[in-house]
Structure 1
Amino acid sequence: MLFHARHRRGTYPLAATSAYPVLLKWVLAAVLALIVLYVVGSFVLRVFGVGNPIRHEKVTLHVEGRDAVSVSLDGGDIQRAQDGMKLYPGDRVTTGANTHATLLFFDGSMVRLDQKTDLTVAKSAFGSRQSELELELQQGKMWVATPPKKSFTGAIVRTVRTPMTTFALPAETEAVLSALEAYVYSADGSGIEVEVLSSDLDSIFIGEGQKWILPSTEDIGNDLYAYRSPLDPGAIRMPLVEESRVRRTIVTKQASQTAAATDGGVEGGFLRVRSPANAAKLTSGTVKVEGSFGEGVASIKVNEYFAVLDAEKKTFSQELALPTGTESFDIRIAALDSAGEILEEVLRNVTREFKAPDAPTITSPAKQGQTYRTQTQEFVLRGGSPAGAVGIIVNDYRLQLFSPSKGEWSYLASTRLGNFIQGENIFSVVAIDDAGNKSEPAVLKIILGEGTEGVIAEGQASSAAPVTETPAELPNNAPLKPGSLVVTGPTAGTAHTATGSEFLIEGTTIPETASVWVNDYELQLYVDGKTFWNYIANTEYGNLKRGKNVYVIVTRNARNEILDKLEYTVTYNP
C-alpha cells in the first residue's frame, strides 16, 4: 500500500506567536479602567460627601428699613421676609429702595446688602475637612466681613459670583463688592482674588487698602491690575461701610446673648460646655475648655485639637494657649461621631484683658531716663522690680538669678562679656508677669568714653507728651474738612498689625493745615502748609504698647479749628 504525505494548504507562521502584545493590551485596558473608576468614584464620593461629611447650614437673616425685604425660599414665590428667619442654599433675598438686610453665616461671616440688591445663597455647607460658602450677587452691592483663620476649624472656600466676575474671599476680609467693583478694607494674605468671566486673562488679587473698578467688560486690555488703585477718602468713609460696622456690633452682641442664654448647645443632648462662659474676660494666657457629652459622641474637637475624654464620666477637657497680642479669641467646640461627622457644635468668644505689670526701676549707676558717662569697663546695673513680676528682661536677655520675693534685680555689663561697648549703650529693662505680659521698658543710656564721669543728661519727654498748648484749651468743633486727613502707611486705612518695636505712621492732609496732633501731641517737625506728615511709634517712647493701640489724629487750621479727625488702630504683636 502506498502512503502519500498530507500537505497543509494556506499560510502559516514559521515560528510561535508571542503572548506579550496580548498581555500588554490587557494591562493597558486594566489601567484605563482603574483611572475611569477613580475619576467617576471620586466625583460620586465628593457629591455625596463621603470622606468629607458635609452638613447644609442655615443662614440667619436680619432685616432693617422702612420697606419690606423680600425672600424666595427654594425657588418659590416672593414673600415678605421676617427678622431672624433662617435661609438655606437656594434661597434668595432682595432689598428695596429704603431697606437693608444682614445675613449671618455658620462660619461667622457676615454680609449686609445695600438698597436694591438681589442675592442668592448658593452654598452653605459645613464639612469635617472642607466647608464651602458661595453667594450669587445678581444685582446691587454688598458689604462682607469674614472671620480670622483661627476662628474656624478646617478649610473653607468663600466665593461671591456675579454675572460678570467671581470673587474668592480669604480670612479677615472686609470689603464692598458689586459686579464690576471691589473695595478692600482688610484681607488676609494677598487679598481678594478676582476673575473676569468674559476674559481669558489670569485672575488678579486686590489687597488691603485697595480698590478695583472696571468700567465695563469690553476692551479691558491685557492688564487687569491697571484698574486697581489705593482707597481714597470717599471710599474709606463710604456710608455702607460705616453703617455695616455698627450693624455688625449689634448683630454679634445679639448672637452672643442668644448663645449664652441657651448654655451653648444642650439642644440634641450631644454637647454641653461648662467653661469658659461666652464673652468671658480672662487675665491669663491660657483657657481651659470643659464640659460633658452624650451618647454617640466619639470625640470632641476644640479648635484644631482633640480634647481629653473621660468615657466613664462623659466629660471632656482641653487647655488652649491664647495667641499673643490677641484681645478677642473664638473657641469652636465640636462633638464628632465615629465617622468624623459633626453632631453638635458650640462657639465661645472670650476676651483677654492685658494687664501689664508696672515698669521696673533703675537705681544704679543712674536712674531710668538719664544718660550716664563712664570710663569703667565693667559695672552692675541695679533696680527694683514691680509687684507681680516673675521675671526681668534686660535687652532681650532674661535674668536667670532674679528672685521675685526680693523685689530687686541686678545685671552685669562688661566689655569682656560683649554686652557693653565703646560709645553709646542703651539698656532697656522690662518686667514680665506669670501670664507673659510685659511692662513698659525702663531705659538707661550709658556712654563708654572719655569725659567727665556721671550723669550728663536727664530724661527727656517722650514723643507722646504734649509740648505746646493744652488740647483742652483748643476748639473742639466738628471737622470743617472731613475726608481731608488720610493715613497712607504703614498700612493705608484705619488699622495696622505691627511686629516691630518701631514704625512710622504717615499720611496726607490739605494745604490749609497749620498743625497735626496725635493723641494730644503736636507734631514738632510738621511745617504749616505741608500736605504730608509722619509720627514715630516706638516702645521706648512709651507710645506703643503690646496689644491694641489707638492713635487719634487731628488736623487744625491757623485758628486752631479742627479740619479733620480720625482714629488709627495698631495691634502690636511682638
Structure 2
Amino acid sequence: MVFAGLIVVLIIQLILSFFEQKEAEMRAKANFYVDYGRGEIMEWGSENWIKAYNGGVVLDGDSIRTKSSSAGSLVFYNGTEARMAENTELTMDVLDNKGSRDILVLEVDKGEVFVSQLVNDMGYTEVTVKSGNFNVYAEGAQFDILNREDQAVRVLSGDVIVELVERTEGEDVVIDEIEVGVGQELFMSESDVADLIARTNMNFLQAITDEWKQGDFYLWNKGLEDGWYEGTEEVPEVDDGPVIDVTITTGTGTVETSDVPEDEVLEYEEPALVLTTPETNPYILEGDQIYIIGTVSGYASKIIVTSYTEDGTASDYKLSLFEAGGTEWSYNAAYIYGNLHEGENEYVVTSYNYDGDEADSMTVTINVPEGTFEQELACTLSAPVVAQDTYDTSEGYVSVFGTIDCAYGIVVNGYSLSLFKAGDTTWSYTASLEFGNLAEGENTYEVYSVDKDGNKSESVYFTINYQPAAETGSGVSE
C-alpha cells in the first residue's frame, strides 16, 4: 500500500512538473497577429525578413515589422499586448519569467507601438521599452510609444517612468528621469533631442494632444480596449487603408482576420526629384546666397540635403519646411550660414520613401568664383540692440525687433536670422509655440552678431514671459 501511494505521488509530481514546464515554455514566447495588411519577421541570427503569419511564434531576439497600411499585435501569455502601427519595426530583446511574473524588454527601432499591460490570474508582465532617446518602465499601464522623426511617450493609465537617454557607442547615459502621469505625454522633436543632448532644455512634458486622440491608431486601440470587436462586430473604417473584419476569441487574445489579398494594401509611389532652380547644373554664382529649389513626385516622407565644407566635412540638413507627401522643396545656401564657399560647392539632395528608406538623390553643383566674398563692410562689428528686453504675453507668440550698426549676420539662441543680410541695420525674430521656440513660463533668449569670419560680438538678452489665458467653465479663454 505504501509503495502504491508513492507511485501515485510520483505520478502527480510528474504531471505537475509537466504542466509547469509547458507553462514556462508558453510564457517564454509571444504570438504575432497581422490585424490587417502585411507583417514580416526576422528570426534571431538571420538577416532576412520573411512573411509573418497569424499566430506565429516570436522568441527572444526576433524582430517584427509592419508594412504600409498595416497593423499587427504581439500577444503575451497573460493577454498583455504590444500593438504596432504601420511602418513599425521592433525587436523582442528579452522575454523571461520568474514564476507568475514575465519580464519583457522591447526595442522600438522605428514607428509607433501601443502597449496594454494586464494583471490577472495568469500573471503579470513587467514591461521595459527602449525607443530612441527613451527608456520606458511601466506597471499595469496603457501607453503609446512613438519613434519616428518625433519621439513621444503617451500615458493612458497606470504608472510609467521614462529615462531620457543619450545613446553612445558602448554606453547609454541617463540624463534625466521623469514620471509621466495619466493624460500626459513626453514629446521631443528633432530639435528637442539636440537640446536634450546639449543639456539646454529638459522641459518636454505636456498634456496629450487632441490631434493624437483623433488619429486612426489611437481610435483603433481604443476600440480594442472598449470591446468594439468582441463577438463578430466589424472594425471601424480606417482612413487610407482597407476595411477588415476582425473578431476576437474572448479570453485568449487570439485575433482572427478575414483574408485580404496582399495587392489590396495601399502602396506609395517611390519619390523622384527634379531640380527647377538654378536652371543649369552646374551653376556659376556671383553672389553670397542662392536658393536651390525643386519638386518631388511620388511620396517622400522627408528630404535631406548634404553640404560640404572646404575641407570636405559633410553636414546633413533635413528640410524643416518640407512636409511628408509634399511636392515642392527648397534649400538656402549662403556664405553667412557656412554652407557656401568660394570654389566648387556640392549639395546632395536625397528623398526618402514612405517606409523611411533612401529612394532618389541628385547632386547640385554651385561654383563661386574666387574673390567673390572678399568685400568688407566699411565698419566694425557691433553688438545688436533689442528694442525691448522684457515681454509678457498670453497669445503664444511674440515678434521681437532690434537694430544693429554693423554685422554680417544676427544669431538668436543659435538660430541665424535668414532674412537678415550683411549691412542691414534692423532685424526681427518671432518666438512662437508653433515654432517650438516658446514655452510656458519665462523664456530667455541670447542675441549676438557675427562678422564674415564668424567672430561674435558681445551678447545681449531679452526675456518672454508666456502665461496662457485661463479658460472659463464654458471653455472660453478669459
With the length of structure 1 as denominator, give the TM-score of the two structures.
Answer: 0.33
Determine which structure has the larger strand proportion and give its number: 2
What's the TM-score, normalizing by structure 2?
Answer: 0.39
Bigger Rg over Cα: 1
